[in-house]
Amino acid sequence: MHFEITNDFLQEVEQLIANKDEKAVLAIFEDLHPADIAEVLDELNFEEAVFVIRLLNSETTSDILEELDEDTLSRVLQALSTKEIATEIEELETDAAADIIAELPDERKEKVIAHIEDKEHAQDIVDLLRYEEDSAGGLMGKELVAVNENWTVMQCVKEMRKQAQEIGEVFIVYVVDDDNVLKGRLSLKSLLTTSTKTLVKDIYVPEIHFVKANDHASDIAKIMQKYDLFVIPVVNELHQLVGNITIDDVVDFIREEADRDYQMAAGLVDDVEADDSIFDLVKGRLPWLILGLFGGLVSVMILSKFDAALIKNKELFFFAPLIAAMAGNVGVQSSAIIVQGLANNIVKGSIWKRLFKEVSLSLLNGLILSALVVSFSLFFGLSWKFGVSIGLSLIVVIIMASLIGTFIPILLDKKGIDPALATGPFITTSNDIFGIFIFFYLSKFLLGF
Amino acid sequence: MHFEITNDFLQEVEQLIANKDEKAVLAIFEDLHPADIAEVLDELNFEEAVFVIRLLNSETTSDILEELDEDTLSRVLQALSTKEIATEIEELETDAAADIIAELPDERKEKVIAHIEDKEHAQDIVDLLRYEEDSAGGLMGKELVAVNENWTVMQCVKEMRKQAQEIGEVFIVYVVDDDNVLKGRLSLKSLLTTSTKTLVKDIYVPEIHFVKANDHASDIAKIMQKYDLFVIPVVNELHQLVGNITIDDVVDFIREEADRDYQMAAGLVDDVEADDSIFDLVKGRLPWLILGLFGGLVSVMILSKFDAALIKNKELFFFAPLIAAMAGNVGVQSSAIIVQGLANNIVKGSIWKRLFKEVSLSLLNGLILSALVVSFSLFFGLSWKFGVSIGLSLIVVIIMASLIGTFIPILLDKKGIDPALATGPFITTSNDIFGIFIFFYLSKFLLGF
C-alpha cells in the first residue's frame, strides 16, 4: 500500500526507459501517487526524468512537479518551455504554483504568467509572489471557502458547492462580512445540524485564530502546534481574509527548520545531504573545518609559549587534549540547551539567575569530574600537587565553558541573530582555545613554573 | 489575539492567588484558551496551579490537563482524587484520556476507569492503553465518523449528524462495509454535490492511505508528510477500522523526535530543558561528560608513551589538540549527514560506493586543510620535513575520522540501534583518541624518532 523504492525497481525502470518501452513505463507509473513518482524521478538522471514526464498527462505531472526536490525541479523546468510550464501551473493550487514560479529566472517568470489562461489564477499567483518565502503570505494558498455572515445556511451550502468544485478538500468554512473582513468560522458540524433557514451570523463561531500576512513561519508553526490547528486563515492590515495556510506546509517548515539547526550544530554550512555530489559536500563542510583549523593553530601558539614547562611539567601537555575536549563538550551541551530554550520561549528570568544556575550546575559537574581526574593522576603516579592543580583547572575550565556556551547564544538572540549559529564548531573551537589558555596559565600559577 | 506570558502577568496572577481573590483570578482565566491556561499553570508553583484548577469548571480543566507538560500534569493528578480524575476524563477525547491515564500508577488507573460513567468511552480508553506509546495505536483516537457503503447519502448525513454531535470537528468521513472493514473515504465535496438518494458505494473514493495499529510513529509521520494528509485511518490485522490519527499528534511527535536527535548530538542524555532543576540538568549532562573524560584519559596515556619525542619533536605536542579537534569536527559532520540520510531513507547504493565517496571527499578536504597547516608551520619556522609530516598525518586523520563518522551510524542502523546515538560526544571522543593515536604513530614513522 505504501510505496517504497528498491534498487531492483529502479534498475527495471531504467532498463525500460533505455529500451524506450513507453507502454511498460506508463503501466508502472499509472498506479503510483504523484509523490511516489516524484521520489522515483529524483533518483533517475535528467534525461530519464524528462522522458517519464513527457509520457504522463499534465494533471499528473503538475502534481509531480510540486513534490520534486529543488535540484530535480529546477533542471526539469529548464527542459520545459514557458508554455508547457504554464499548462502545468494551470492545474496547481496557488501556493504550489507560486513556489514553482519563484524558482524561475525573472524573464521566464513573466512569460509563464502571461501564458496562464485563467487570469484570476494568474492574479492570485502574482499576489503570492510578493511575500517572503518564510512568511504567512509565502506559505498561504488562495484556495478557501468563505461565506458571508448575512447568508442563510441554504445559501451557504449552495455557494460552498460552487466553491468546493474548484478547490480540493474543504476543511474549514470562513465567515466574512461584506468587506471581506474575517469574522469567524462555520463548523461542518453546525452546517449538518441546523435548519437551512438559519442565518450564518447566528451560528458562526467568532473565536478564530489567525495570522497576519507578514508573520514569520516559525511563529505560525508555534501557534498551529499549540492550538492543534489544521488550517489557519491569513489576514491583511485591514483584517481582510487574504488566504489560508494548511498544516502540511507548516510541517514541512518545522522539519526543515529542525534539519537546519541540526546541521548548524554539526558544522555544516549548506543544506547538504548524503546523496549530494562530492563538490557540494566539500562546499558544505569546508568552511567550519577551516575555522576549526585556525582555532587549532591558536592553540598551537598558546602551547608553544609554555615550552619551558616541557621539562618539569611535561604531563601538562599530555592533559591538554583532555581539557580542550571537556571544554568543547560542556560548551556544546550548554549551547544546545539554551538554543532549544530560546526556540521554545522558556528562557525566562533575569540574567543573574541564569548565571547563578549555570555556575552552580557546572561547579557540581566539575567537582565530580575533577574527583575522577585527580584519582586517575594519583593512580598514574603523578604528584598530589599536580593532581589537585589539574582538578582545579578542570573545574574552572568547565565553568567558563558552560558560561560561554550559555551566554553567546543569548547575546546573539538579543542582537537578532539566529542563536543556532553559535552551536557546534563555533562553541567547540572557542572553548578549545579558552580551555587550553586557562589551563596553562592556571597551572603555571598553581605549580609555579 | 495570541496570548503570550509576560513576567508582569505572572506576578499579577501570583499576587491575586496569594490574596485568594477567586473572582479576579476567574476573570483572568475565563477568556483564555485552555492551551494558554496550561502554559500559565506550568509556570506557577504546585499549590497555585491546584488553586486555579479547582476554580475552573471541569470542561475547561479537562482541556487544560491535556495541554500541561508532563511534570506539572503528574503533580496535579496526585492532588486529585480518582473520582475527580474520572470526571475530567469523561470530557476528553479518547486519545487524550488514554495519555493521561497512562501517567497514573497501576492501582489508580483501574480505579479511575471504574469511575468513568460512560462505559463505551471507558472501553475505548482501555483499548487504546494496550498499544505502545509511539505506535499508530498509541497515537490514534477512537473519535471518527464512519458510514456504511450500502447507505444512501441521505442516511449518511443523518448518521453523520448523530456522530458529529458526539465528536469535535469532522475532517474526513470513512466508508466501511458490514464487517467494519475499511473501504475508502467520502469527500465533503461529494456529499455537498450529489443527490441524497445516491448510494455511498457509488461515490466513495476507494484510494485511501492507512496505517496498521502497530506501525511506528516515525513511519506514520513520513507517510502523512509525503502525501500531505491531515488524518489517517488505523486498521487492525483484519483491515477493520479501529481509529484514526490526526496530524497534530504527529506534529508533536516530529518535534519531539527532532529535539531528541538534537540533544543526543549535543551529548544530553535526558530530555533536559533550560528551566529544569539543577539536579535534572546534572543528570542529563554528566554521563556523556564522564565518557568524554575517560576518552581524554586514554589520550593522556597515548601521549605519555611518546615522551621520548618531547626532546626532539616537542612541536608534535603543540599540534595534538588541533589534530584531535579536526578529527572530532570531521566526525561530527559525517555522522550528522549520515544520520539525517538514514532518517530520510536517502542512504542508498552499495557500501563500496559510499566508501569511495567518503574517501574522495575527505581527501579533497584534507588536501586543502593540510596546505593551510603546512604553510602555517613553515611560517612558524618549523622544518619542511616537520610540516609535510603534520600535513600528511592530518590527511590520514581526516579520512579516518570521516569513515568512523559515516560507518558507525550505518552499522548501528543495520543492527537496529538508533544511529543518532553515535553522533556528538561518542564520535568526538572516539575520533579524538584515534586521531591522536594515528598522528603520533605516523609522525614517529615519518620523522623517525
How far apart (Å, rounded) are the C-alpha atoms in residues B83 and A416?
Answer: 50
Asked if the Cβ–Cβ distance from A340 to B259 is below 8 Å, we say yes
Say what angle helices A34-43 and A46-55 make with each other, to 10 degrees.
150
Chain B, nearest residue to A34 by Cα: B227
> B10-30: per-residue pLDDT in tens?
889 999 999 999 899 998 888
Query: In chain A, whose CA is at the least distance from the CA of B220?
Result: A2
Residue A41 contacts residue A3 (beta carbons within 8 Å):
no
Task: Look up the pTM and report it.
Answer: 0.83
Q: Which residues contact B236 (CB under 8 A, 6 or more apart)?
A: B212, B213, B242
Tell me if B299 and A286 make a contact (CB, 8 A cut-off).
no
CATH superfamily of A145-252: CBS-domain (3.10.580.10)
| pLDDT 10s digits, B107-117 | 899 999 999 99
Considering the domain delimited by A278-447, tell me its CATH architecture. Answer: Orthogonal Bundle (1.10)
Instruction: Tell me the pLDDT tens digit for each residue of B125-150.
Output: 999 999 998 899 999 999 888 999 99
User: Would an 8 Å CB–CB cutoff place B371 in contact with chain A?
Assistant: no
Find the CB nearest B230 among A210, A247, A424.
A247
Could you tell me if B189 lies within 8 Å of chain A, comparing CB atoms?
A: yes
Residue B375 burial (CB count, 10 A): 12
Q: What is the pLDDT of residue B422?
A: 80
pLDDT mean across residues, chain A: 88
**pLDDT of A99 above 70:** yes
Q: For position B30, what pLDDT does the model report?
A: 83
Distance from CA of A294 to the nearest CA of B (A): 9
Q: What pLDDT score does B300 carry? A: 93
Q: Which residue of B has its CA nearest to A428?
A: B325
pLDDT on residue B349: 66
CATH 3.10.580.10 given to domain B145-246 = yes
Residue ranges per structural domain of chain B? 7-139, 145-246, 278-448
Instruction: Please indicate if any CB of chain A lies within 8 Å of the CB of B258.
Output: yes
Please write the tens of the pLDDT for every residue from A5-24: 888 888 899 999 999 998 99
Please tell me which residue of chain B has the smallest CA distance to A278: B361
Q: What is the pLDDT of residue B170?
A: 67
Pick left, alpha or beta for residue A424 (phi over 0 → left; psi -120 to 50 → alpha; otherwise beta). left
Please say whether the structural domain B7-139 has been given the CATH code 3.40.50.2300: no
Higher pLDDT, A350 or B386: B386
Q: Comparing C-alpha atoms, which of B421, B166, B311 is closest to residue A189?
A: B166
Q: A160 to chain B nearest CA, in Å?
A: 8
B151 touches chain A (CB under 8 A): no
**Residues in chain B closer than 8 A to A255 (CB atoms):** 225, 254, 258
CA distance B274 to chain A (A): 6
Q: Does A84 or A449 have the greater pLDDT score?
A: A84
Cα separation of B10 and B246, whole Å? 33
Q: Note whether B153 contacts A: Cβ–Cβ < 8 A.
A: no
Q: How far apart are CA B233 and CA B240, in angstroms?
A: 10
Task: Confirm if B325 and B398 have CB atoms less than 8 A apart.
Answer: no
Percent residues over pLDDT 90 in chain A:
45
State how far residue B164 is from chain A, nearest Cα, in angstroms: 6
Write out pLDDT tens, residues B277-300.
888 888 889 999 999 999 999 999
Tens of pLDDT, residue by residue over B155-212, are 888 887 777 666 656 678 899 999 999 999 987 767 777 888 899 999 998 989 999 9
Compute the average pLDDT of residues A217-238. 91
Burial class (CB in 10 A: 0-12, 13-18, 19+), B84: middle
Reported ipTM: the value is: 0.82
Q: Could you tell me which residues come within 8 angstroms of residue B279 by beta carbon, excluding any fewer than 6 positions away? A: none
Helix (H, G, I), strand (E, B) or coil at B267: coil
CATH architecture entry for B278-448: Orthogonal Bundle (1.10)
Burial pattern B172-182, b for ≥16 Cβ within 10 A else e, equals bbbbbeeebeb
pLDDT in tens, B411-442: 998 898 888 888 888 899 999 999 999 999 99
Mean pLDDT of A41-53: 87
CA distance B328 to B429: 7
Kindly determine whether residue A429 and residue B318, on different chains, have CB atoms separated by under 8 Å: no
Residue A109 to residue A375: CA distance in whole angstroms: 70
SS3 category, B216: strand
Grid cell for residue A254: 518545522
**CATH T-level assignment (fold) for domain A7-135:** MgtE N-terminal fold (1.25.60)
Give the rounded percent of residues in chain B with a pLDDT score beyond 90: 45
Residues 321-360 of B with CB under 8 A from A: 321-326, 328-330, 332-333, 335-338, 340-341, 344-349, 357, 360
Residue A290: its pLDDT value, please? 94
When CB atoms are compared, the residue of B160, B255, B425 closest to A254 is: B255
Q: Is the pLDDT of residue B1 over 60?
A: no
Residues B86-103 have pLDDT tens digits of: 988 888 889 999 999 988
Residues 6+ apart with CB under 8 A from A381: none
User: Number of A:B CB contacts under 8 A?
Assistant: 344
Reference A292, options A326, A268, A259; nearest CA is A268
> What does the pLDDT average to over A54-67?
85
Best residue of B190, B285, B298 to probe chain A, by most A CBs closer than 10 Å: B285
Which of A169, A266, A293 lies at the smallest CB-CB distance from B373? Answer: A293
| B1 to A335: CB separation less than 8 angstroms, yes or no | no
Does A347 score more than 70 pLDDT?
no
H, E, C per residue of chain A: CCCCCCHHHHHHHHHHHHCCCHHHHHHHHHCCCHHHHHHHHHHCCHHHHHHHHHHCCHHHHHHHHHHCCHHHHHHHHHHCCHHHHHHHHHHCCHHHHHHHHHCCCHHHHHHHHHHCCCHHHHHHHHHHHCCCCCEHHHHCECCCEEEECCCEHHHHHHHHHHHHHHCCCCCCEEEECCCCEEEEEECHHHHHHCCCCCEHHHHCECCCCCEECCCEHHHHHHHHHHCCCCEEEEECCCCEEEEEEEHHHHHHHHHHHHHHHHHHHCCCCCCCCCCCCHHHHHHHHHHHHHHHHHHHHHHHHHHHCCCCHHHHCCHHHHHHHHHHHHHHHHHHHHHHHHHHHHHCCCCCCCHHHHHHHHHHHHHHHHHHHHHHHHHHHHHCCCCHHHHHHHHHHHHHHHHHHHHHHHHHHHHHHHCCCCHHHHCCHHHHHHHHHHHHHHHHHHHHHHHCC
Task: Give the mean pLDDT of B327-335.
Answer: 93
- For A429-439, the pLDDT digits (tens) are 999 999 999 99
Number of C-beta neighbours around residue B208 at 10 A: 17
Contact residues on chain A for B348, CB-CB shorter than 8 A:
7, 43, 275
pLDDT at B365 > cutoff 60:
yes
Residues 384-423 on B with a CB inside 8 Å of A are 423
Q: How high is the pLDDT of residue B111? A: 92
Number of Cβ within a 10 Å radius of residue B317: 25
Report the alpha-carbon distance of residue A220 to residue A270 in Å, rounded: 25
Least confident of A394-398, B25-29, B165-169, B253-257: B165-169
Here the cell at position A71 is: 535540484
- Chain B residue numbers with beta carbons less than 8 Å from the beta carbon of A303 are 317-318, 321
Residue A408: per-residue pLDDT: 92
> Considering only residues 202 to 231 of chain A, which have any Cβ-Cβ distance to chain B shorter than 8 Å?
209-210, 223-230
CA of A315: which chain B residue's CA is closest?
B304
A373: chain B residues, CB-CB within 8 Å: 293, 297
> What digits encode the pLDDT tens for the residues A144-194?
889 999 999 888 888 877 776 666 566 788 999 999 999 999 877 677 778
Any CB–CB contact under 8 A between A197 and chain B? no
